[in-house]
Homo-oligomer: A and B are copies of this chain.
């Protein structure tokens, strides 16, 4: 959107979090609350995003990186005082200023866009996002004029009995005409119960300046849940999770129980895949069609083909093909690539390796720094000796290799395509090829290799 600047208030310590971390850096659904708010705003493509930091400002600034300009509020003297810190960046700006808070991780781009559109369409000085709560205790109340425009917002501690009974509350999210906001900001004082400069006072001030303010009522009060405690954090997490699960199901994915499934925002899942309980899909995942993921699967930042079947396993930063079966009790670690139709079985760990198509590693194995071809079969207890105490060394296993039970691969080692190795061999160097039928020769060669070590 053109002519738009966003200001995010993120100075609070969040004392009720009892934490060493600034409040906005606490995570919901796998990422800090501030990132959720930033994402929602970035989708609006504003000219600039300004984050007002305060508590542990360096940490928040560092976290924002290039995503926003940070301004520091040295002393916490209220929300109007916070917005004032952004004035150097707003002085000459003639568009809309979207003011939000950094602790409402569920806010959605569509709602913000609608709020901006309303202000522009109705040509009012500001539009306030409000919502209605059965129990408004703790929130600023929205006092309307007879014509429906907003007269003022009264902080909880300053309400009289009539105002306290109002159920429409302020969400802390506004769109202002920038120059009118600046005009009003200059006039905000601190004569109130808290001795603070309230941004909410700008609303009444605009009225006195003969400007109109409107309110837009958010349909879904959960969208503007503000997080002030770890309990709020858990509630926001639950709502966000429910929203993501609903979206995933709308795309043709079966989620057996959304209440015991944790799916991050950036996860994509293909049609007719089934997500079983106790499953966690984190970060940027892309999962194909007709997969069965879980129960008890944990996939992070991975790409999975179609028709694959993962249960009781962890898979991180890996790439897995079609029709692959993993688990139960397998650990696929970063830097692993598994081809199609492969099987990674029980008590098998694979790291920094590639496993070819139709290859089996089924029992009690540890494979690190290996490159394994297609149609290979690694017996029970296959272990790469890939670390000599100093360096990680490579293992190479060709196509159609058959390794018997309890094979130790002392890297660097290469097993030539088609080789058949008997059980209990220790392999190192280059292990020769024979036809699969001539397994006796293979054993001899393998033993020779063993003696060489």
Q: Give chain A's interface residues, CB within 8 Å of chain B.
A: 17-21, 26-27, 229-231, 233-234, 237-238, 241, 245-246, 249-260, 262, 271-272, 277-278, 280, 290, 295-296, 298, 312, 314, 328-329, 331, 346-347, 349, 363-364, 366, 377, 379-381, 383, 385, 387, 389, 402, 404-406, 408, 410, 420, 423-424, 426, 436
Contacts and interface: CB of A to CB of B under 8 A. Distances in A.
Q: Name the prevailing secondary structure of the A interface residues.
A: mixed
Contacts of A380: 366, 383, 385
User: How many copies of this kind of chain does the complex include?
Assistant: 3
29 contacts: A19-B272, A20-B271, A26-B254, A229-B249, A230-B249, A230-B252, A230-B255, A231-B246, A256-B262, A257-B262, A260-B278, A277-B280, A312-B314, A329-B331, A329-B347, A347-B364, A366-B380, A366-B381, A377-B389, A379-B387, A381-B381, A383-B406, A385-B404, A385-B405, A385-B406, A405-B408, A405-B410, A408-B423, A408-B424
A394 to B, nearest CB: 15
B271 A389 contact: no
Given A230-B255, A347-B364, A364-B366, 9 more contacts: A229-B250, A230-B250, A234-B255, A259-B260, A363-B366, A366-B381, A381-B383, A383-B406, A385-B423
A256 B234 contact: yes
Contacts of A295: 280, 298
Contacts of A405: 383, 385, 408, 410
Contacts of A252: 17-19, 230
A29 to B, nearest CB: 9
A230 B253 CA distance: 7
The 4 closest A-B pairs by CB, nearest first: A18-B252, A230-B249, A385-B405, A363-B366
B402 A251 contact: no
Contacts of A27: 254
Contacts of A262: 256-257, 277
Contacts of A328: 298, 314, 331
A96 to B, nearest CB: 35
A237 B237 CA distance: 22
A295 B298 CA distance: 9
A446 to B, nearest CB: 13
